[in-house]
Amino acid sequence: DVKVTQSSRYLVKRTGEKVFLECVQDMDHENMFWYRQDPGLGLRLIYFSYDVKMKEKGDIPEGYSVSREKKERFSLILESASTNQTSMYLCASRTRVDRNTEAFFGQGTRLTVV
């Protein structure tokens, strides 16, 4: 069974902390994504990666960075957490070969910044 695993279900961090959200997939997928989900705003793409060490900005990259040192792992970094980054964060992956392929999502990380 395919799997995307996010390292934490719930996180509470303080304002100004550096926060790492980790995501691992076991499907050998080329593409990986980070979204945030907020009530009334749907899913918004933060960053994505087509390959190891590659990254592209999504729609709302400000305040975030990412790292992809290995194919299976994609990390989202909040350089200095702020209260407006309190949100649900979703990681996803998909293969690049076939345009019809679906994206697989992790279980989500609910981050609260206090």
Partner 1 sequence: GNSVTQMEGPVTLSEEAFLTINCTYTATGYPSLFWYVQYPGEGLQLLLKATKADDKGSNKGFEATYRKETTSFHLEKGSVQVSDSAVYFCALTHYGQNFVFGPGTRLSVLP
Q: What is the nearest approach in angstroms of partner 1 to the Cβ of residue 50?
A: 10
Q: Identify the residue among 19, 33, 36, 87 touching partner 1 (CB under 8 A).
A: 33
Q: Identify the residue among 47, 64, 106, 113 touching partner 1 (CB under 8 A).
A: 106
35-94 positions binding partner 1, by CB under 8 A: 40-43, 45, 48, 58, 90, 92
Q: Report how far apart the first and last C-alpha atoms of the chain are (Å, whole number).
A: 37
How many residues would you count in the chain? Answer: 114
Is 24 near partner 1 (CB under 8 A)? no
- Nearer to partner 1 by Cβ, of 78 and 94: the residue is 94
| Dist CA 59 CA 54 (whole Å) | 17
The span of 12-20, 66-74, 78-86, 100-108 binding partner 1 (CB under 8 A) equals 100-108
Contact 58, 89 (CB under 8 A): no
Cβ neighbours for 104, distance < 8 A, ≥ 6 positions apart: 2, 3, 4, 25, 27, 29, 92, 93, 94
Contact 10, 87 (CB under 8 A): no
Binding site for partner 1 (CB under 8 A): 4, 6, 33, 40-43, 45, 48, 58, 90, 92, 96, 99-100, 102-108, 110
